[in-house]
Amino acid sequence: MVKKILIDCKVISQKVSGIRGYFLPYLRALTSLLSDYHFVLISPTPLSKNIGINWANCSNLVIPYRSFLPHPYFKDIVYGLFDFPNTIKKIDADLLISSYYDFLIPKRYAFRSVITVHDLCYWDLHQCYDWHTKWFPYFVLPHNLKRTGGIITGSEFGKKRIVERFKDLVLNKQITVLYSTFVRKNQNSERQPLMIQRLKQKLKLKNSYKYLLYTGGVENRKNIDRMLAAYRQVVDSNSVQLVFTGDNKEHSTLLKLLSKHQVTEHVVLSGVLSSEEIDLLYSKICHGALNLSLYEGFGRNTYESKQHGLPVLCSDIDVAREVAREYPLYCDPTNINDIREKILLLLQKKRNKPQESIDERFKEKPNTERMIRMVERFLEDR
C-alpha cells in the first residue's frame, strides 16, 4: 500500500517569503527522491505547477481562507485553529510535515507529525512584539511540541534555544537541524553588463554613489529604527545611498521611519526584484550590506554577502557567528554610535573574492539527505 504524507504548504502558496525560500528545496527533494510515496500538498490557494516539484506523485488539497474575514491576521488564525486541523483529522495519512507551527496538530497526528520552529523570537525578544502578535504562537507552539514527533530548525543556535526554553516538552523528541541551502552563483555571463545597466536604470542608481544593501525585511526585530538612526549620521559626509529591497514602497511603518530620520532621499526602495537582480546587487553593484537584526534563526542575507564577496556589517549575535564565522564586520545592534562607526568602516572596505564553493553545511545534498533519513525513520515506525 502506498504511504501518504501530508505537507502543510501554506508558505509555498505565498509569493515571496523567507520561509518559502527555505522550505521549497526540501519539498522538491521529498517529492522527487521519495517517488514511491504520495504527497498531499495542502494550501489555502492553489499551488503553481511551476515550483519545480514532481507532480506525478503529488496532489494539491486547497483549504480556502474564509473570504468574509476582513484581514489576513484573522484569516490565518481561523485557518490554523479550525480549518486546517478539522480537515486533516479526517484524512488517514502516515505522516504530517509542516514548514512552520502556526496551526493545531490534531490528536490523530500526535507523534506522527514534524513541525518547523525557525526561531523563538516571540519568546527571546518578547518586548518587541505586541500581545496581539505573540498570543497565537504562545498558544499553539507548546500544544504542538507536546504532540509532534519531530522538530526541524534552521541552526544549532535554534536547536539550543528550543531545548533550553522547552526542555520538558521536547524531552526525547527528535530535533533535526536543516540549514538554509545555497547553490553556487555564476558571477559572470555575456549578458551581465547589459543586465547591470538595466538594473541601474530601473533603480536610478548613480555611479557617483556608494550603495549599501539591505534585504532583511521590516518587522520589529530587524532593528530598522536604530539602523536608520545610525545611517542618518553617515549620509551627510558621504556619497552613499541605501538600497532597501522588498515590497516596501507603501509600507507605512517603514515610510514613517524614513521620514523620522530624514533619510527618505537617501534610500532607494527597490520593490520586489528577481533573484538575478538581487544577485547583481550583491555581486556587482553594492559596496556593502547591512544586517543589524536583534534576533535571527539563521540570517540568510549574511551568508549571501559572504558568498558574493560583499563586505557586510552584522549584529554580533550567536547565530550570525555560527553562519558566517569571522567574515562579517560585527557591531552591537543596540548601540547607535557603534553601528555608525562600523558603517563608516564598512564603506572603506574593499570587495572580497567570491566563494568558489558553498560551505559544506549549507549545500543542498547533505541537508536534503538528512531530511529524507528523518522522514524514512518516521515511516519505518508506522
pLDDT in tens, 141-198: 999 999 999 999 999 999 999 999 999 999 989 999 999 999 887 666 778 889 999 9
Q: What is the largest CA-CA distance in the chain?
A: 70
Which stretches within 166-205 are classed as H helix? 192-203
pLDDT along the chain (382 residues), means of 10: 93 83 94 94 94 92 95 95 98 96 97 96 95 96 97 97 96 94 77 91 93 93 96 89 89 93 95 92 96 95 95 97 97 98 96 92 96 91 64
Which stretches within 184-299 are classed as H helix? 192-203, 224-235, 252-260, 275-280
* Cα 382 from Cα 372, distance rounded (Å): 16
pLDDT at residue 250 in the model: 79
- Backbone angles phi and psi of 329, in degrees to 5: -90, 120
The number of beta carbons lying within 10 Å of the beta carbon of residue 6 is 23
Q: Which domains does the chain have, with CATH numbers?
A: 4-182+361-380 (3.40.50.2000), 192-357 (3.40.50.2000)
Distances (CA, A) of 116 to 8, 23, 372: 11, 10, 15
Q: Tell me the pTM.
A: 0.93
C-alpha closest to that of 31 among 3, 6, 9, 57: 57
252-260 and 224-235 helices, crossing angle to 10°: 40
Question: Which residues, 6 or more positions from 93, have their beta carbon under 8 angstroms from its beta carbon?
Answer: 4, 5, 6, 40, 109
* Cα 364 from Cα 25, distance rounded (Å): 8
Q: Is 155 left (phi over 0), alpha (psi -120 to 50) or beta?
A: beta
pLDDT at residue 17 in the model: 76
Which stretches within 42-120 are classed as H helix? 72-78, 84-88
